[in-house]
Amino acid sequence: MKVDESGQFHVDKPPAKVVELLTKPEVVARLIPGVSKVEKAGDEYVGEAVVKLGHLSGKMATRFKYAEVRDDGVVITGRATGLQTTADFKIEVAVKPSGGGSLVDWRFQGEARGLAATLAPSVVKGALRKMAEEAAQNLAQYINSLQ
């Protein structure tokens, strides 16, 4: 079961500031719904998220790394496991100057397999979409709130 979500938003900070924030895993983790912690483990980061998939909820362990860090954005790849389900994901964020601030384009691609993805694919797909959209909204609000 695959999910591909994308969108864009405008913030009042310059691209360099946006990319700087995106390269801080502890900042990014706080913006993703359900993520409670993140720690460095070698060249990766590990964390834990509380996920709700319809009536099923529980913890998923997450591992991710920065596949690319550029002046105009980042690419993050990772895997979440738990609830008898595995989900691989890729998050791409591109930032460009726009009207005294930045235009942020984001894309989330995920593929889930396992029990939850097999038994309730529409529920899993909906939950992943909602998480991606909420994370983007949280990022926009966080960046705009900075002084």
pLDDT digits (tens, 9 = 90+) for 131-140: 889 989 999 9
- Domain of residue 67 covers 2-145
What global pTM score does this model have?
0.89
Q: What is the pLDDT of residue 10?
A: 96
* pLDDT: which is higher, 56 or 106: 106
116 pLDDT band (50/70/90 cuts)?
Answer: confident
The three-state secondary structure class of 71 is coil
Which CATH number do you get for residue 6? 3.30.530.20
CB of 10 within 8 A of CB of 99?
A: yes
Q: Is the pLDDT of residue 52 over 90?
A: no
Looking at the 3D structure of the chain, how many domains does it have?
1
- Which phi and psi angles does 141 have, rounded to 5°? -65, -40
pLDDT, average across residues 97-116: 93
